[in-house]
Structures are given as C-alpha cells and as structure tokens.
Amino acid sequence: MLNFLQHLTFWDWLALGTLLLILEVFGAGGYLLWIGVAAAGVGIITYVIPALPWALQFVLFAVLSVLSAVLWWRRQRNAGKISDQPGLNDRGSELLGRQFALHEAISSGRGKIKAGDTLWLVSGPDLPVGSAVRVTGQNGVLLLVEPIK
C-alpha cells in the first residue's frame, strides 16, 4: 500500500475525482461534488508538479476539499438574500389595504372581486354585489375582505 501511495500520479487523482463526480450524479446531494472537484484539482497540481510527495498531495486534497465546500456553503447562504421585489411571486400581497367593489356577492363567506383583469376569490361576511370592501389579508389565493362603512 505504501508503494502505491509513494507513486501516485495525476491519473490516480483524476480517476478519483471522476469516480466521486459520477457518484454525485446518483444523488449524494452535493456532498461528493466538492470532494471530486478537489481531487481533480490535486490531479492538475500533480500534473504540473509530478515530484510532489504523496503526503503533501493528501494535505492538498484535504485543504481543497474543505476550502471548496466552505466557499460553496457561504455562497449558498448568501444566495438567500431578500429580494428587491418581495411581492414578485405573491400577487395578492399588492392588493392588501386596497378597496374594491364586489364582482360577485359574498354568500356563505365566499365571493369575488375584480382587480385589474383578474377575478379573485374573497372570504368575508355576506354582502351584496357592488358592496365596497377592503382587502385585509391573504390565505393562499383567497383574499380576506371586510366591508367599508
């Protein structure tokens, strides 16, 4: 075993990196991706510096594995920043506080309003068609309304 370690070549590292990347394809959830990239990186370094001792190759592999995983983790953590358009995928939130006339009467707690060119399902107290209502909340695609007095 020691003989094998003392004669590691860049092909060995590239093979390990390829194997890890193939295993990643089968659903490792990203864990093997960065270790495989690190192994390929050590393979490239070993190609450039073929006389690199095997112990240093393993240290490089460990450092590159941790470094690449930490950098990716930090990038992913920062990717969840607050959007400059917070209501982009929440169309009903832009209607909160606005007033509308009922397009269909609220009967048994359900009715409809027309906002722009869209009919919205609303929930509130029973009211006749044309009554003025204010949007007070949202529950999925259902808008919560109250009558305007």
pLDDT > 90: percent of the chain: 58
Percent of the chain residues past pLDDT 70, beyond the cut? 95
Domain map (residue ranges) of the chain = 2-78, 92-147
Task: Tell me which architecture the domain covering 92-147 has in CATH.
Answer: Beta Barrel (2.40)
- For residue 137, the model assigns a pLDDT of 93
> Does residue 1 or residue 37 have the better pLDDT?
37
Closest CA to 13 of 25, 2, 5, 3: 5
Whether residue 87 is predicted with pLDDT greater than 70 in this model: the reply is no
CA distance 142 to 112: 10
pLDDT at 37: 93
Cα separation, 122 vs 108, whole angstroms: 11
Q: Average of pLDDT values for 12-36?
A: 88
